[in-house]
Amino acid sequence: MQLSATPYEERLTAPRSWWLLCFLAGVSMALVLLPLGTLPMLGGLAGGTAAAAVVASSYGSVRIRVVGGALIAGEARIPVTALGEAQVLDPGQARAWRTHKADPRAFLLLRAYIPTALRVEVTDPEDPTPYVYLSTREPERLAQALRAAKEAA
């Protein structure tokens, strides 16, 4: 099995504004602990900010990769030979496919803060999943990488 001619890797990082929200969560915790004194307040600021930052970082640590003849999206590993046509979705189409058009059997790797997506048909007759929906900032490049990986397989 050959490696993809067009390797692709993307991390779906959380937006910068979320880090401000992490700090604000720390401030909220500090205000809750203010009646207990200065030291607990500072501990609340540090602990609340750190806890919120861990949550934001883990939510934004998911990756999408096309390597070794497979699409790796989060925990899913799908051989490109089991994938059909890829459809690039603009923000309006992406919103529709993650809401009223969504199939409950589909694999969705979505992040609401990423407006564009790629929808890829699953052609494996053994797999009940009809399609894979992937939030991505570069849907055209991901579709190109999938096409190149299928040609190389």
The pLDDT tens digits of the residues spanning 79-115 come to: 999 999 999 999 999 999 999 999 999 999 999 899 9
Smallest CA-to-CA distance from 62 within 149, 115, 6, 136 is with 136
* Angle between helical axes of 17-33 and 38-59 (0-180°, round to 10): 150
Residue 38 has φ and ψ, to the nearest 5°, of -70, -45
Percent of the chain surpassing pLDDT 70? 96
Q: Is the pLDDT of residue 7 over 90?
A: no
Q: Is the pLDDT of residue 15 over 50?
A: yes
Q: What is the pTM of this model?
A: 0.81
pLDDT in tens, 57-66: 998 889 999 9
Reply yes or no on domain 63-152 having CATH 2.60.40: no
Whole-number Cα distances in Å, 81 to 20, 53, 92, 119: 42, 38, 29, 16
Rounded CA separation 77/65 (Å): 9
What are the residue ranges spanned by the domains of the chain?
Answer: 14-59, 63-152
Rounded CA separation 68/1 (Å): 7
